[in-house]
Amino acid sequence: MDTEASVPSLVRAYVLPRVVLVGGAALVGVGGGVVLLVALSLVGFSPVGGARTAFALSSLTFGVGLLGWSGSAMAGRGFEAMQEHLDTNTNWTEDDSRRAMARIGGFGAGAMTTTGVAEAVALAG
């Protein structure tokens, strides 16, 4: 088997869709971080205090996504089997759950990046 010819196809088939999924969520998180910073400044937070509060909220979102993803990976098949056994007729799958948690984690990572940069700029200025 020619490994050099198969590596680009493996990257296209496996890595690229996941980078698009998490990267797209991170870009949305960047926008969410900006919106959160503006909202906190309108409420009366100082630039540094608002950035620190927004970072804490963003890291909470990232942590929920990370914890949810790992929970989906560990217990997902068990939940699928339980639903099949109970005949609940839901469309929930482990893959859907992991995909959703990856999006939530990516959103939190993007917002964390934005708020971290905003805090660094606020401290430097």
Do 109 and 21 meet the contact criterion of CB atoms below 8 Å apart? no
- What is the CB-side half-sphere exposure of residue 119 using CA atoms within 13 A? 17
Q: Minimal CA–CA distance to 59: which of 7, 6, 14, 114?
A: 114
**Cα within 13 Å of Cα(105), Cβ side:** 18
The pLDDT tens digits along the chain (125 residues) read 555 558 888 888 888 999 999 999 999 999 999 999 999 999 999 999 999 999 999 999 999 999 999 988 888 788 788 888 888 878 788 888 899 999 999 999 999 999 999 999 999 97
- CA 57 – CA 59 distance, rounded (Å): 5
CA dihedral (99, 109, 68, 90) in degrees, to 10, reads -30
Cα distances from 82 to residues 11, 23, 78, 89, 107, in angstroms, run: 34, 33, 6, 11, 30
The distance in angstroms from the start CA to the end CA of the chain is 57
Angle, CA of 91, 93 and 96, to the nearest 5°: 100
